[in-house]
Structure 1
Amino acid sequence: MKPGGTIRIRLDIGGGSGTFAARMRERNVTIGTTSMNLDGPFNSFIASRGLISMHVSVSQRLPFFENTLDIVHSMHVLSNWIPDAMLEFTLYDIYRVLRPRGLFWLDHFFCLGSQLNETYVPMMDRIGFKKLRWNAGMKLDHGIQKNECYFSVLLEKPMT
């Protein structure tokens, strides 16, 4: 979505073992990866791979100045298990640290089908991101019976 060389500083929230950061390092993109060491020493493993590891919870502010990051990525961590007020706080904080025209890639956000339009679409609209891509689909394992879905979005912080 962006020309080569324009994305330099990035954050991966809940990056697990740092595989995404390792793959992006091959493209000369510096990524800080957050992990909470749940069920394993993920931060130590990330650091042993020569990657930037940070112990940061989604319940605290991100340790960056305003307008610092080119892109923030999160996969599976930010989902409906987080209380709405805390999730909205986290999304505003992501907005704060992104540079103008910076990207927020929220991948595989899990929720109930009814929550998608009632809660999460209005929440994204309130924050002020510009929608570049928005994909939603039913969860395939047992989501059809329980009306569960995933959505993935690519959002951009506007210039103003």
Structure 2
Amino acid sequence: MQERRVTVVTTSMNFDGPFNSFIASRGLVPMHLSIAHRLPFFDGTLDIVHSMHLLSHWIPDVILEFALFDIYRVLRPGGLFWLDHFYCLGGQMNTTYVPMFDRIGFNKVRWNALRKLDRGIKMNEWYLSALLEKPMT
């Protein structure tokens, strides 16, 4: 990435490990943020935002929607939000989260919802992986 003049900024959870040191040693810019804070970037400055295993149903709906609007805010027009391994219960997918993504205004480039099977089929748990685009206008 450095050879192509790409700057990667990443955050990690603080689990009493040297995660930010590990990130920095690979040439990336580490940050430690809580989910309730705004992203420290100007409006329309990022091309890609990637979230893996962080955004899920455990976050209260109001805070999750705030975080998604903030991601939308920092993306350039045409920018991509890669939501990876978003975990939720089956009933929440269509009643809560799909309308939330639609309200924010993302275009769905890729949308894969698959059943989470590690605790059995009776749990009705789902993973969503999606590639969402901020519209050009």
Unpaired stretches in structure 2, ≥5 consecutive residues: none
Please give the residue correspondences for 1:2-151 in structure 2 after superposition, counting only pairs within 5 Å.
25=1, 28=4, 29-151=6-128
Q: Secondary structure at the match of 1:30?
A: coil
Which aligned runs of 4 or more in structure 1 are off by greater than 3 angstroms? 26-29
The verdict on how the C-alpha distance between 1:143 and 1:106 changes in structure 2, with shifts beyond 3 A counting, is farther
1:113 Cα deviation after fit: 0.5
Question: 1: CA distance between counterparts of 2:2 and 2:25?
Answer: 16
How many residues are paired up? Answer: 136
Residues 76, 108 of structure 1: 8 Å contact kept: yes
**Structure 1 length as normaliser, TM-score?**
0.81
The verdict on how the C-alpha distance between 1:46 and 1:124 changes in structure 2, with shifts beyond 3 A counting, is same
1:68 Cα deviation after fit: 0.2
Q: How big is the alpha-carbon RMSD for the aligned residues of Structure 1 and Structure 2? A: 1.4
**Structure 2 length as normaliser, TM-score?**
0.94
1:144 Cα deviation after fit: 1.3
